[in-house]
Amino acid sequence: MDANLKQEKRFKGIAASPGIAHGCVLLLAEEELTVPRYRVEGDAIENEIQRFENALLETRGQIQSIQEKIRQNLGEDEARIFDAHLLVLEDQALIEESIKEMQEHDLNVEAAVWTVGHRYIEAFGQIDDEYLRERASDLRDVLRRLLSNLTGQALEQIGTHMDDRILVSNDVSPSAAANIDRSKLLGIVTNAGSKTSHAVIMARSMEVPAVVGLGSFTDEVDQDDIVLVDGYEGVVILNPSESTLHAYGKLKDEKTSLEERLLVHSREASTTKDGKEILLMANIETAEEASRSLEFGADGVGLFRTEYLFINADSLPTEDEQFEVYSKTAKAMAGKPVVFRTLDLGGDKMPRESMEMSLGPESNPFLGYRAIRYCLDHDDVFIVQLRALLRSSVHGDVRIMYPMISGSAELKDANQILEDAKSQLRSEGVAFNESVKVGTMIEIPSAAIASDTLVADSDFFSIGTNDLIQYLIAVDRLNDRVAHLYEPTHPAVIRTLDNIVSSARRGDLSVSVCGEVAGDPVMVPLLLGLGIENLSMSPSLLPSVKFVVQNMSMEEAERLGKMALAEPDSTKILENLLDYYTDLMSGL
**CA pair distance 181, 160, nearest whole angstrom:** 9
Mean pLDDT of the 444-465 span? 96
- Return the pLDDT at 426: 97
Mean pLDDT of the 157-169 span? 72
Enclosing H/E stretch for 181: none
pLDDT of 2 > 70? The answer is no
Helix 130-151 vs helix 109-125: crossing angle, to nearest 10? 170
Domain with CATH 3.50.30.10 in the chain: 3-30+157-259
pLDDT band at 291 (very low <50, low <70, confident <90, very high): confident
Buried b (16+ CB within 10 A) or exposed e, 480-512: beeeeebbbbbbebbebbbbbbebbeebebbbb
- Residue 198 designated active-site: yes
- Contact yes or no for 405/454 (Cβ under 8 A): yes
Supply the mean pLDDT for the chain. Answer: 85
pLDDT of 410 > 90? The answer is yes
Domain with CATH 1.10.274.10 in the chain: 44-151
Model confidence over 201-222: pLDDT tens digits? Answer: 667 767 788 898 888 898 889 8
- Return the pLDDT at 375: 92
Model confidence over 504-558: pLDDT tens digits? Answer: 999 999 999 998 899 889 999 999 999 999 999 888 788 889 989 998 999 999 9
Model confidence over 32-81: pLDDT tens digits? Answer: 788 999 998 888 999 999 999 999 999 998 888 888 877 777 766 677 77
pLDDT of 352 > 70? The answer is no
Active-site choice (22, 85, 265, 514): 514
Model confidence over 388-405: pLDDT tens digits? Answer: 999 999 999 999 999 999
Higher pLDDT pick, 66 / 265: 66
**CA pair distance 409, 380, nearest whole angstrom:** 19
pLDDT of 4 > 60? The answer is no
Active-site choice (85, 198, 265, 395): 198
Superfamily of domain 3-30+157-259: Phosphohistidine domain (3.50.30.10)
- Return the pLDDT at 546: 92
pLDDT band at 325 (very low <50, low <70, confident <90, very high): very high
C-alpha torsion sign, points 253, 254, 256, 257: positive
Burial of 303 (0-12, 13-18, 19+ CB in 10 A): buried
CATH 3.20.20.60 fits 266-585, yes or no: yes
pLDDT of 432 > 90? The answer is yes
Mean pLDDT of the 426-455 span? 96
Rounded to the nearest 5 degrees, what angle is found at the Cα of 20, between the Cα atoms of 483 and 78? 55
Residues 44-151, CATH architecture: Orthogonal Bundle (1.10)
Domain with CATH 3.20.20.60 in the chain: 266-585
CA neighbor of 11 nearest in space, from 170, 167, 164, 189:
189
